[in-house]
Structure 1
């Protein structure tokens, strides 16, 4: 019986946490593309954010951006700006907005929208023949975005 009670308590806590998550279509952007409110209602984990940023199988941020704070990560990109010190010149709201949908801040950027599920220009079969058959999932979860924000905010000059 104890196990059942603990399991139920865990499910209720997890459900309450998920209830606070802002869905991709409900994100509120400021005038310059910033997203003031956390997508999860809580702070991110900077260490998990470092992993997401660094792993090609997750955020894949390092494929476009270089970061001196990650000397152990090979083959860093040159497409996007170097992000050394980004937490010193961008706010968490600005970084969150850029991760959610960079085109709200930088029109015409090639950076993907990591937390977007609708309004795409080219998800059809005409380009690749591999259009999604169901709903499009965001590249990163709301928690992943908050984790990357937390990591990038640690990068101060």
Structure 2
């Protein structure tokens, strides 16, 4: 009887063990197609559009509204006019296109001033106090893979 109980407990432990999601690719390992699109989710899962809106509005994270008008986020003050309005962006770009633009817009628009939000090498960032010390290895990207996916999920809700 004890062997049966131990065996059953082992089965329960295996069933209840957390299933880990695949690790996000390092920024340098993201696969862009010839047009700068990224077909595969960086996390292997869909993002959360509510969290994506928060990232876009948060001045300490994406701060997308500093450069872009987003009418859906009209409660956030001081929308910029440097970048194009993002209203209806999901009608103009595919999810893969938007993922590529958010991860590294320079793959799509070589001369853009839009930051690469999922890149951590190959450029200079001012202020080690804010971004880490490059001598310690690659810097962290501006956004995590999950935050990129959240922003993409939110952008996909912006239809005309």
Task: Identify whether the pair has TM-score above 0.5, normalized to the shorter chain.
Answer: yes
Q: Which residue of 2 is the match for residue 56 of structure 1?
A: 59
Matched, 1:102 2:105: yes
The reply to whether residue 31 of structure 1 matches residue 26 of structure 2 is: no
Paired residue secondary structure (1:32): coil
User: Residues 111 and 155 of structure 1: is their aligned pair in 2 closer, same or farther, counting only changes over 3 Å?
Assistant: same
User: Structure 2: which 5+ residue stretches go unaligned?
Assistant: 1-12
More moved, 57-66 vs 139-148: 57-66
Residues in 1 aligned to 2:43 and 2:128: alpha-carbon distance in whole angstroms? 35
TM-score (normalizing by structure 1): 0.84
The Cα shift of 1:31 comes to: 0.8
CA RMSD of aligned residues (A): 2.1
Instruction: Decide which structure has the larger Cα Rg and report it.
Output: 2
Spell out, residue by residue over 1:92-128, the C-alpha distance to the aligned partner (whole angstroms, 9 max, x if none). 00000001110000011100000001122x34xxx76
Aligned residue pairs, count: 144
Show the counterpart of 2:5: none
Name stretches of at least 5 consecutive residues in structure 1 with no aligned partner: none
> Which portions of structure 1, spanning 4 or more consecutive aligned residues, are displaced by more than 2 angstroms?
127-135
- Secondary structure (helix, strand or coil) at the match of 2:115 reads coil
C-alpha separation in 1, matches of 2:120 and 2:33: 19
How much does 1:129 deviate? 8.2
Normalising to structure 2: TM-score of the pair?
0.82
- What are the within-5 Å matches in structure 2 for residues 1-157 of structure 1? 9=17, 12-13=18-19, 16-17=20-21, 19-120=22-123, 122-123=124-125, 132=133, 133-134=135-136, 135-157=138-160
CA distance in 2, matches of 1:57, 1:94: 24
Secondary structure of the 1:53 match is helix
Deviation at 1:20, TM superposition (A): 3.5
